[in-house]
Amino acid sequence: MPLAQNRLTDRTLRNLKPAAGRAYDLADGGDLYVRVEPSGSKVFWLRYQLGGRRRRWVLGHYGETGVSLAEAREKRDDARKLLRQGIDPFELKAAASRAARPGGCPARGARNRPARHLDRGVAGRRVLCARAAGHS
């Protein structure tokens, strides 16, 4: 018997209340979950496993300005297609994000790396990589 999918509705999501002091998850099926935070925010996430490694991928926040239930289900279906091909959807998105940065430089989090990985820019200002010197 196939597993149940699309268990949640927009009405159910709108009416979810936060639990006192802790977050909880509700399953929609097909490894799509919504996490209800103590603050009341609701976050869609996808659980998947690839190459023996289990991962969680946040799809977005639910609400008027965020991701709808239908969009979250569409993202889940797209991710599952990629997984069947052996492609990690999280890594694919991260690679696209890296490619969109000026000069293909590392993210801002790279600032915490040791100084030997950084080049000096104009007037001694640290630059994440030599290619970004013109983009700073």
Mean pLDDT over the full length of the chain: 80
Evaluate whether 87 touches 69 at the Cβ level (below 8 Å): no
pLDDT band per the 50, 70, 90 thresholds, residue 117: very low
Condensed to tens digits (0 to 9), the pLDDT of residues 78-95 reads 999 999 999 998 888 888
Two tokens, residue 111: 């600032």
Question: Are 111 and 135 contained in the same domain?
Answer: yes
Q: Is residue 2 part of a domain?
A: no
Q: Which residues have C-beta within 8 Å of that of residue 125, sequence separation ≥ 6?
A: 136
Q: For residue 103, is pLDDT > 50?
A: yes
Two tokens, residue 40: 């009341």
User: Mapping DSSP to helix (H, G, I), strand (E, B) and coil, where does residue 92 land?
Assistant: helix
Residue 125: half-sphere exposure toward Cβ, Cα within 13 Å? 9
When divided into structural domains, the chain yields a total of 2
State the average pLDDT over residues 108-130. Answer: 50
Tell me the CATH number at 40.
3.30.160.390
Condensed to tens digits (0 to 9), the pLDDT of residues 8-45 reads 999 999 999 999 889 999 999 889 999 999 999 999 99
Question: Are 62 and 129 contained in the same domain?
Answer: no
The residue with greater pLDDT, 55 or 126, is 55
Domain containing 71: what range?
10-100
Two tokens, residue 1: 């018997």
Q: Looking at residue 28, what is its pLDDT?
A: 93
Question: Are 18 and 83 contained in the same domain?
Answer: yes
